[in-house]
Chain A
């Protein structure tokens, strides 16, 4: 029994060691070109990762924004490049160089109406009211449909790519709970009017009204007119 326990402990220690080593190997195989051998960053290629922490590493790797093929490429959302154990190893390797942890959010504690107001003030300018994404000069803004609660919180605190970052003074953790609750709500918004037409706002709604309802009305007018002639 004791022997079995010893073997298990040894295996676990080895596994932990392997994971750290694995993380380092993965970093040197995939990231070192732009972020440097001591995570110090490379001029004109990639920023320093010292102090980025699990907060940023977890966000960039799980959203597939990193690794990039070339430093000037615009990061786009993709399935993660690594497997789950590889992700964990790489994230703990970056986290070991200091920085904030992955934020904990509790959207169930948030207030949906407060979240809507915060989203209007800080996010809707780029991401649109329904979190469907949009454009800003120089780049396109991603949709928030596939973002998890944690990823939304991470993006708020990091300010990835051209997005501004929002510290705890601008958006308190409590407010962040409400904000994330609203973003999750936009995945399945309650559309009392029925057909939302992609949540894109009044412009497509107008097009649908003119094309569909307009043609239907024309046809109806024709039917009424023909009915009269008989």
Chain B
């Protein structure tokens, strides 16, 4: 912000430069300054700036009805006004003439000077150059702000610490999205459940789980005791894909496995496919490592509870994952 102000101050405070080469004969026929044209351009630039500012305002408010349409209208009007200002400038204020010359190999002192003079004289109809420059810069700034504002929608900045965090503790209750505890008897085969830690934020990367009951033979990786990691065949994995961090929202669940395919957890973004019976081993797709698994316990009221920490880092893979435990 302070840069914008200093730029404006610099432009407005700059002294008038003495016109150079006044003695020279004009190359372009002198035309009277067009006060009207300048006013039109100023108004158009102002409208463009307002439209871009309105886009940023709609984005920041984020609660208006028909928001998408307002985005389109404000951005579209902004560009239309800016374009109209350019058109009016070129038609009313700057003389346009096409001159063609054979291309000279050597840089020609005289020709260079002539072009400089041409450029200078073509702006001679403008009486309020600085005001116009400030208006154009304002429009450019507002346009830039409108184009950059949606970057905020890319989400929070996720540092490596968020990827290493694991809030699950032994004995933590598993609940569904509405806070109801997940019962071991309620976990039916052929379907999948999304679970969260009771009493903790659902928005943390480590929080969401996908829970399924495996009916096939379990083949968990070595060192994972089925009693501790898959009590009664119920397994829980992180719902965040290890490839790009999307939610594992698909469960391929064959009605008749003999004639179709094995059950699998699938990420809808790039179709990484994981085998729930074998510790979420990658069957297909770009994911480079299995989903981290969470050990489970069933308490005396048959509710599911966490049995400890994840088997590895949650979330998308990054270079540090290979070096650390994963």
The residue that B251 contacts in the complex, of A71, A164, A169, A193, with Cβ under 8 A, is A164
Once the chains bind, are A138 and B261 in contact (CB under 8 Å)?
yes
The stretch from B11-19, B34-42, B43-51, B266-274 touching chain A is: B266-274
Given known contacts A162-B261, A170-B191, is B252 in contact with A137 (CB within 8 Å)? yes
Q: Closest A-chain residue to B268, C-beta based? A: A125
Contact B253 A136 (CB under 8 A): no
> Contacts A44-B258, A170-B191, A224-B87: A137 and B264 contacting too (C-beta < 8 A)?
yes
Q: How large is the interface on B (under 10, 10 to 19, 20 to 34, 35 or more residues)?
A: 35 or more
Kindly specify which of B90-98, B128-136, B223-231, B298-306 makes contact with the partner chain.
Answer: B90-98
Chain A interface residues (CB < 8 Å from chain B): 43-47, 71-72, 121, 124-126, 135-139, 158-167, 169-170, 192-193, 224, 228-229
Interface string of B177-202 (1 = CB under 8 A from A): 10000000010101111100000000
- Residues in A with CB closer than 8 Å to B254 are 161-162
Residues of A within 8 A of B252 (CB): 136-138, 162, 164
Interface string of B279-290 (1 = CB under 8 A from A): 000011100000
Partner of B66, one of A72, A163, A192: A192
B285 with A137: CB separation less than 8 A: yes
Inter-chain CA distance A165–B188, complex, in Å, is: 9
Sampled A-B contacts (10; CB under 8 Å): A46-B256, A125-B249, A125-B250, A137-B283, A138-B252, A159-B190, A161-B254, A162-B260, A192-B66, A193-B68
Report whether B255 and A126 are in contact in the complex, using a CB–CB cutoff of 8 Å.
no
- Closest Cβ of chain B to A194, distance in Å, is 9
B255 touches A43 (CB 8 A): no
Q: Within the assembled complex, what's the spacing in Å between the Cα atoms of A197 and B72? A: 17
Across-interface contacts of B264 in A (CB, < 8 A): 137
- In the complex, which residue of chain B has the Cβ closest to the Cβ of A42? B258
Q: Is B105 an interface residue (CB 8 A)?
A: no
How near does chain A come to B250, taking the closest CB pair, in angstroms?
Answer: 5
Q: What are the residues of chain B within 8 A of A170 when measuring CB–CB?
A: 191, 193
